[in-house]
Amino acid sequence: MASNASSTFSRLTILLIICLPLTSSIDFNYPAVFNFGDSNSDTGNLVAGLGAELDLPNGQNYFQKPSGRFCDGRLIIDFLMDAMDLPFLNPYLESVGAPIFRNGCNFAVAGSTIRSATASSFNPFSFGIQMAQFLRFKAKVQDLQAKSTKFPKYIPARDYFQKALYMFDIGQNDLAGGFYFNTLDQILAGIPQILSEFEDGIKKLYDQGARNFWIHNTGPLGCLPEMIVKFGTDPSKLDGLGCVSSHNQASKLFNLQLHALLKKLQGKYQDANVTYVDIFTIKSNLIANYSRYGFKHTLMTCCGYGGPPSNYDSGIACGQTKVFNGSSVTAKGCNDSKKYVNWDGTHYSEAANQYVASEILTGKYSDPPLR
């Protein structure tokens, strides 16, 4: 009887997380949002920019088709846009369908890093390139405004660039990629340079009139099935949650130094709002206490191949079909993604994203704290 009651409670918790609208204790009052980042907030730039394809079951739960998001549905940024009563952000690189940028634009691209891209990078759209794209976007908008009054439905109003919220969720790939080529000490030693490049981008935006900055720190990298499969085969490398200790150590140091940088910028740009959001703590709490929030699996991929304990194989992405050892295999989705924290080995499920967004909106994981 107790087991049945617990199971019923878990199902109800999941339904409440997914079905109820997010309530916000934060007064989000911005006319537009400009977002910069990686796959944690990419709403279609990689797909548009490189002609890449995402297959079902990506997008199955909300969009009923692949939407350019590495998820079964919505991302954290989608839920935050809902909380601001603004439409989902269109990707900057999407040219088909007369995309509307009235309330902002998304420059985030899956696989992007803060550091400049190299020949071995996943894509060329580093943070510096995203900054350059924004500057071109702004200049083009201002040019159109000067020439015609025909475009108010499609482009931000002149004063939106100063009043907008500038959001950032980037840096995870700088750390994750580093572990394939460098030691932990080398990765930790490189963090100041990574953040120096990030600071340069913030300064460019500030000089352009941006005054509202919203920065997510990086999550527990070592708890992604992709990292556990690659770097966690030795149990001594894992922590008490089953996550790769070295990767989470790097995430923590990155976040510590990012926080210090933003405290500095809070003092330097006193006419600006610089908000640090502790995503690491929110996601770590979810992973440690997943059953409390209605989840059943935390370190196993919903959409993958290979079966327990991780159901992840780096050779076959979610939705793909490939020939392994003479047999055709498909990385299929699980029966109920709402029970999984992780979607495809690297990215979180829609249910997990909505939980994270709901915690962000309490304001208690922000510095300065939000009311």
Neighbours of 157 (CB within 10 A): 14
Give the C-alpha separation, 188 to 251, whole Å: 9
Residues 6+ apart with CB under 8 A from 311: 225, 300, 301, 302, 304, 305, 334
| Assigned token pair, 335 | 């029966």
**Angle (nearest 5°) at CA 222 between 220 and 226:** 120
Asked about 337 being catalytic, the answer comes back as: no
**Which of 112, 109, 127, 5 shows the shortest CA–CA distance to 49?**
109
Catalytic residue selected from 72, 169, 313, 344: 344
Instruction: Identify the H or E element spanning 248.
Output: helix 245-268
DSSP 88-150: PPPBTT--SS----TTEEE---TT--SSPP-TTSS-S--HHHHHHHHHHHHHHHHHHHHH-SS
Asked about 347 being catalytic, the answer comes back as: yes
Task: Compute CA distances 132 → 2, 107, 187, whole Å.
Answer: 58, 10, 27
Asked about 344 being catalytic, the answer comes back as: yes
Residue 274, strand partner residues:
213
* Total length of the chain: 371
Give the C-alpha separation, 223 to 232, whole Å: 10
Task: Lay out the sheet containing 33-37: strands in order across.
Answer: 104-106, 33-37, 165-169, 212-216, 273-277, 366-367
Catalytic residue selected from 39, 67, 310, 337: 39
- Residue positions annotated with a catalytic role: 39, 344, 347
